[in-house]
Amino acid sequence: MTITYSQEQLSTVAQQIIANTPNKTLCFYGQMGAGKTTLIKAIVSALDGSGTTNSPTFGIVNEYHNSNEELLAYHFDFYRLNDETEALDMGLEDYLYANTWVFIEWPEKINSLLPDDCCNINISIIDEKTRSLTIS
């Protein structure tokens, strides 16, 4: 499935992703500035997330809750990871099998640790205001 969208369409795109992913582990691929974090914010919002959603670049993982304060998702940003051992040391496997949404930015940094059934979302920049994503 391929979707071309603008910033104004993020809410609709988030709903389409939620409806068309076979599981809750989503890996986001795309160059710096492609809009991975922005898209994840829209998905968290569509899932009734509460509080602030931002990139966990420095903390590596953020935890999000819904409006009932129940755990909704984990959001990883592995951009600054030096090797896969760091992900294992932080307990990545526990997060992956926690039966909640898991959003992973820069999953190529931990490729051998990813579950076989994760859903890949590749984001491409079309122009300053337009993106294209492919769900596989």
pLDDT of residue 67: 86
**DSSP string for residues in 23-91:** SSEEEEE--TTSSHHHHHHHHHHHTTEES-----TTTSEEEEEETTS-EEEEEEE-TT-SSHHHHHHTT
pLDDT of residue 98: 87
Residues 103, 133: contact at Cβ < 8 Å?
A: no
For residue 105, the SS3 value is: strand
pLDDT of residue 55: 64
pLDDT of residue 57: 58
pLDDT of residue 118: 94
pTM of the full predicted structure?
A: 0.91
pLDDT under 70: residue ranges of the chain: 51-59
Residues 113, 85: contact at Cβ < 8 Å?
A: no
pLDDT of residue 50: 76
Non-local (6+) Cβ contacts of 67 within 8 A are 48, 49, 50
pLDDT of residue 52: 65
